Amino acid sequence: MAEKKTLKVRQTGSPIRRDSRQRAQLVGLGLNKLGRERELEDTPAVRGMIRKVSHMVEIVEE
């Protein structure tokens, strides 16, 4: 069975003065403080959440 692909995401921007929907996207990704990193499963849903807050996160190369 093939391994599930994962993405490592780091928060680089603050949610202060951002729309509440963008803050909710960060919380959904498990991010809420600058510099936090999470390893998430590479699914279309997660990709969409990352796209919504792309100005506040970066994908870390492994």
> What's the pLDDT tens digit per position in 2-35?
788 999 999 999 999 999 999 999 999 999 999 9
13, part of any domain: yes
1, part of any domain: no
Domain count, the chain: 1
53, part of any domain: yes
Q: Which pTM does this prediction carry?
A: 0.88
Phi/psi of residue 55, nearest 5 degrees: -80, -10
Q: When comparing pLDDT for 62 and 44, which is higher?
A: 44
Structural domain boundaries, residue 43: 6-60
Q: Own/partner pairs for 57-60, CB < 8 Å, 24+ apart?
A: 57/9, 57/10, 57/11, 57/12, 57/13, 57/26, 57/29, 57/31, 58/9, 58/10, 58/12, 59/7, 59/8, 59/9, 59/10, 60/8, 60/9, 60/10
Predicted confidence band of residue 1 (pLDDT cuts 50, 70, 90): low
18, part of any domain: yes
Q: What is the CATH number of the domain that holds 26?
A: 3.30.1390.20
